[in-house]
A and B are shown apart, each in its own frame.
Chain A
């Protein structure tokens, strides 16, 4: 009986639920099995995992596209991809990595872990959660399908006008892009609201804001950033859609429009976007550093302030993507200073981690290896970041491979390494099995080596003047050797990822059983079975510090909530600041309506590519499904 929630073990306390009681609770929270049942799931553990798995599949597909580009650039004047295809592959790679992999993966990990970490039984709006997932799934799948139909967008991941205007991009490619963006906006915004409300209101009694795990803080900041950043890309893509569809003139200079408006709106979202990806990753890193040193994080308050600060300052940086657009000097100087400021907040974090690690007995398991990889790669990316933040330097390397190197260092260092660290760390939570340590360490080492071989030479290529987004280059440019090195590196990199994939597949079947708290972590996500019960916690906990699980094993006792009904889905609601018990929320049962709403909404979004009338159809169609979705529940269920 190693995988029991402490609250379930009847030897321990007379206050724990009797087995029949627990069985009823588990039936109440059961997600229906079977193929049709799949479309009705609302539990956050189920939706969170779906987000994660789907995003990892997209990661793999987009990674293969990255490999394809590297194969094309293996030698000068290579013919592996023709120019049109290269543009499509490049655009789909960039867009998918940003919108279909990085953001949803972070949301997914938040959706899976936040309720567990704050001790709730589910999220505040489970059906909305499911809706967001289906929208994401449908949008992402169609986006990739467009590549195979030859309908893919080809104007780069930031899709600048006028290139993406109707005059210069005929066909449906750009429309597919704007539509896909709309899907991702919808699903990201639903996830953001969902996460914020869950964090604000569903924390267990006693978990006041200053006792919240850093990871939860990070997700909170991420959610707020999504809330304020996404609207500007909503507006931008809506304008572009209208320019292409009904001939509005927002971006057409001759008709009073302004192409630069696109850049402002896009980067006002696009820059925070990078931090939307980074901030949760910082949360993962902190969690792992704390657990693997077995000490409280150094400077909790400073760290929280730094994360919040990064979130806020990142909204003041967007113009540094536009240094070459002829901005006034004062404007450029302002944004240069703001860009330097972000280094302060990042510095605070790094010093908090160093101080936590200093002199500790660190446990070097695979998650910790990936965290160390993160330090190396991300800091290198940060250094080139400080370089390109300075206007004169940026004007030299703008649109060269130096920039490609820089942002892969930040993105792979800042998102992929932490995500893999998290994968190795929480895999036992989600599956009850451990990943293989040896394979994991090899995978980490190979990814690290392959990554640097792939992307380090790009710095030099950029300094030598190789522009980004070119499908080939000439032999007399002398860029061949470095490109070859980079292409070989990408194969090593792919092998490293494949090793982890193999590790996952293997461990699902044959992995060693995991003890309930394999890393001896302090947070509530480890205070239940692995995988978690349908209801997450047989008894919701009451906490008294930042490290409840450590307290319990030190004191030999713990407080719990009693009096929740087991014949319907209930979870405790607490006050925003101090988490005093306030009321009980009754959560909805499984239902297929979110799925139907998502299908109707998707049909109408895609229809928009062909006719504006789908807008009207969409408003009314989704409205009808929403009515069914929210249709009053039976009286007995509510009172």
Chain B
């Protein structure tokens, strides 16, 4: 073999490096990527809303009221509140306070479920069906999109809370919590632009 001999020397010793780093783990970046995708979907949905709005002279169509404010506005406060409990749970997990973690995530699941109930009331009260006009279609589509996300966030967090009560999360194994929290913030936060567009755009614009 004519290849020259290559001397190997160790420059990095990885045995000292931490194995479990919930806040810089690649999975954290992965969830950030998922959030970016979802945010882009929301942006497309909201842009479509305005596009359709611009194509129609009357919006919502003749004889249709914009959706009711009451329940949606309650949800607007309940969801961020559930993020606060989620954040509190995350702090508990960072400091290895297991009960705090378990209580926090359970509270979040409870609050979000409450939000879903309110949401359902309010959907039932929509003044238009999805097949009556493009306005109805986009209203239902955006609402359904967000509803599904709340459901999936609740499901995922429910699993986390069961594991938390079973004492699964040691301080090294809290990655699942960190990731779940990140996704939760997104689902709660994205309701704000959705709320503004669906509930206020037809009133203001």
Contacts and interface: CB of A to CB of B under 8 A. Distances in A.
Contact of B41 (A235, A584, A619): A235
Candidate in A128, A257, A564, A627 with the most chain B CB atoms within 10 angstroms: A257
Contacts of A561: 10-14
A558 B8 CA distance: 5
Interface stretch (B21-29, B81-89, B113-121): B21-29
A563 B16 contact: yes
Interface stretch (B98-106, B130-138, B189-197): B130-138
A200 B56 contact: no
B204 interface: no
Contacts of B173: 632, 638-639
A307 interface: no
A16 B8 CA distance: 7
A57 interface: no
B45 interface: yes
A306 interface: no
Nearest to B57: A256
B8 A539 contact: yes
A6 B3 CA distance: 9
Contacts of B14: 561-564, 570, 572, 581, 584
A542 B12 contact: yes
B52 to A, nearest CB: 6
B20 interface: yes
Contact of A542 (B11, B16, B44): B11
A197 B134 contact: no
Given A227-B40, A235-B48, A557-B6, A246 B130 contact: yes
A248 B141 CA distance: 9
A252 interface: yes
Interface string A193-204: 110111011100
Interface string B24-54: 1111011001101100110111001001100
A202 B26 contact: yes
Contact of A557 (B9, B52, B152, B163): B9
A627 B6 contact: no
B52 A556 contact: no
A249 B24 contact: no
Nearest to A185: B37
A611 interface: no
A46 B10 CA distance: 29
B44 A231 contact: yes
B30 A193 contact: yes
A258 B134 contact: yes
A610 interface: no
B116 to A, nearest CB: 14
Contacts of B159: 627
Nearest to B137: A248
Contact of B9 (A13, A235, A582): A13
B13 A189 contact: no
A416 to B, nearest CB: 29
A7 B9 CA distance: 10
Nearest to B159: A627
A639 B9 CA distance: 28
Contacts of A485: none
A192 B32 CA distance: 12
A325 interface: no
Contacts of B40: 227-228, 231-232
B42 to A, nearest CB: 9
Interface string A1-41: 11000110001110110000000000000000000000000
**Residue from the set A249, A261, A542, A582 with the largest chain B CB neighbour count within 10 Å:** A249
Given A227-B40, A248-B136, A562-B12, 9 more contacts: A247-B131, A248-B131, A250-B138, A516-B3, A558-B9, A561-B14, A563-B14, A584-B17, A638-B20
Interface of A: 1-2, 6-7, 11-13, 15-16, 124-125, 128, 189, 192-194, 196-198, 200-202, 205, 227-228, 230-232, 234-235, 238-239, 242-243, 246-250, 252, 255-258, 261, 264-265, 268, 516, 539, 542, 552-553, 556-564, 570, 572-573, 581-586, 619, 623, 627, 630, 632, 638-639
8 contacts: A124-B27, A124-B29, A252-B134, A258-B52, A556-B4, A572-B12, A581-B12, A639-B172
Interface of B: 1, 3-21, 24-27, 29-30, 33-34, 36-37, 40-41, 43-45, 48, 51-52, 55-56, 61, 130-138, 140-141, 148, 151-152, 155-156, 159, 163, 168, 170, 172-173, 176
Which 7 interchain pairs have the tightest Cβ spacing?
A: A563-B15, A559-B11, A248-B137, A193-B33, A256-B134, A231-B40, A13-B8
